Copies of this chain bind each other. A is one copy, B any other.
Amino acid sequence: MSSKAMDQLRSALGECVDIEAAASVLYWDQATHMPEGGAPARGRQLSTLSKIAHEKITNPKMESLLIEAENQCNDFPEDSFEHSFLRVARRNFERAIQVPGSYVKRASQLRCELYDVWTRARPDNDFKRVSSLLKENVALSVEYSSFFKGHAHVADPLIDHADEGMTAEMIKTLFSSLRPSLVNLVKEITDEKPFDDACLRQNFPLQAQWSFGEKIIRKLGYDFSRGRQDKTHHPFMTSFSIGDVRITTRFKEDDLSEGLFSTIHEAGHALYEQGINPEYEGTYLAAGVSAGVHESQSRLWENLVGRSRSFWVYFFPILKEAFPDRFRNLTLDEFYKAINRVEKTLIRTDADEVTYNLHVMLRFDFEMQMLEGKLAVEDLPEAWRERIKSDFGLIVSDDKDGVLQDVHWFSGPVGGVFQGYTIGNVLAAEIFEKVTQAIPDLQDQIAVGNFEGLLNWLTQNVYRHGSKMPAEQLIRNITSGKGLSSKPFLNYIESKYRTLLR
């Protein structure tokens, strides 16, 4: 059914996919194995690759090929591969054509340098060292936005890039629908005596943590013949093809939950990418569809599965074997409470399910203010301290536990990333509600270590589609037309904690 123009377009765009995959390998290597001496050249190599991918996609020949293919293919049904392929090709082209190649190279270079400086400034607790580069990065982000016309808010193009169809206004509405209930719930929980999580803060040999984590994600369905796990400072998932989807993790010797849940989290992202229809390989359809939908899968496996009681009915005995003597006198329910302890803390990635979204809101608000020119970069650490004080009642004594903690502003655009985490939390609960309707004995399956039903449902309804349909349509399909709603998340979290507090 394909046309010659279509084949040529697929081949030409396939080269862009290859270049971007090559860049991903270079990023992965930079984070996992690269010696420090490799940094300057790596920045150059990455910026060259991003410039070339951009040149290729914005080449006038690409546009004529695209037009030709569109003309020849306008009778393809809406649910066909070709239709989706052309839709995504057109969107990527329209996006790329607005952005000058010189900008792409400049942005890549600046962010590589900023990332490199940040990796050293953070342990040294030295915000000043990143300050001027971060300022440039804010300016770059505003500049990116300026290439696009007709948006209501400076952050909209950045948000749309990660979560197609979403705007700053929509995110604010979503956050407003969550915040009051979350603030109430946090108060309600933290007014009580916190759950005892001392059991998680014993000494856990790193190798045993590594093996236990691996055992879990194998069981969930992560395919090691099409992936691997390495250690990095900031855990992430990256895909070079459907056959090579890698994750990274980190472990702390005196904190079991850190490594455990970040391993499950990244495996959730990876299950998504490994589950994409192999027929999409080598095209832009072979990728998770949006930041929010991607995060819904990492958070679903990490929280709705990994922090559920059923999950530990199965894994608690295995955990006990993996760490002899550590949990001898502990009951399953005590352990379940420990991993669900709610506490106002400084670090987003360590945050529990209830306070997590408040961290996201803080970052989102600061992004908006910086992009709007209402908050200067040099005032950011102080603003951060004040906000943490008012939101959490905590003192930020070190910027490394404050404004320097997250990699995002120091490696990518400022704006357009953090909202995905909360969209993910909300959507995870919404999707899980649907799975539970479809598989009534889901909790029983999980409790005997059977994750096949869940993984199959997710693969059929989410993963295999990759980017075949826009995120919004995918979400509508899953939610029987309802679309994104914060209700299932609030129901889930309130019911979970009211049961736990009983």
Contacts and interface: CB of A to CB of B under 8 A. Distances in A.
Interface of A: 14-15, 18-19, 21-23, 25-26, 29, 33-42, 44-45, 48-49, 51-52, 223-228, 230, 240-244, 246, 281-282
Closest 6 CB pairs of A and B: A41-B241, A38-B244, A37-B243, A37-B226, A18-B48, A18-B45
A40 B228 contact: no
A238 B270 CA distance: 30
Given A18-B44, A44-B282, A38 B224 contact: no
Instruction: Summarize A's interface: helix, strand, loop or mixed.
Output: helix
A225 B15 contact: no
A54 B37 CA distance: 28
A243 B38 contact: yes
Nearest to A281: B41
Given A35-B224, A35-B227, A35-B228, A22 B49 contact: yes
A223 to B, nearest CB: 7
A40 B42 CA distance: 25
A37 B244 contact: yes
Given A18-B48, A41-B282, A44-B282, 10 more contacts: A18-B44, A18-B45, A25-B45, A29-B29, A35-B227, A36-B226, A37-B223, A37-B227, A41-B243, A42-B241
Nearest to A18: B48
Contacts of A18: 41, 44-45, 48-49
9 contacts: A19-B49, A22-B25, A33-B33, A33-B228, A33-B230, A35-B244, A37-B223, A40-B243, A41-B241
Residue of A29, A41, A243 contacting most chain B CB atoms (<10 Å): A41
A349 to B, nearest CB: 25
Contact of A34 (B38, B230, B242, B244): B244
A18 B105 CA distance: 13
A29 B25 contact: yes
Residue of A45, A48, A240 contacting most chain B CB atoms (<10 Å): A45
Contact of A225 (B35, B42, B52): B35
Residue of A15, A225, A226 contacting most chain B CB atoms (<10 Å): A15
B228 A41 contact: no
Contacts of A40: 241, 243, 281
B22 A226 contact: no
Contacts of A23: 22
A41 B25 CA distance: 12
Contacts of A25: 22, 25-26, 29, 45
Contacts of A227: 35, 37
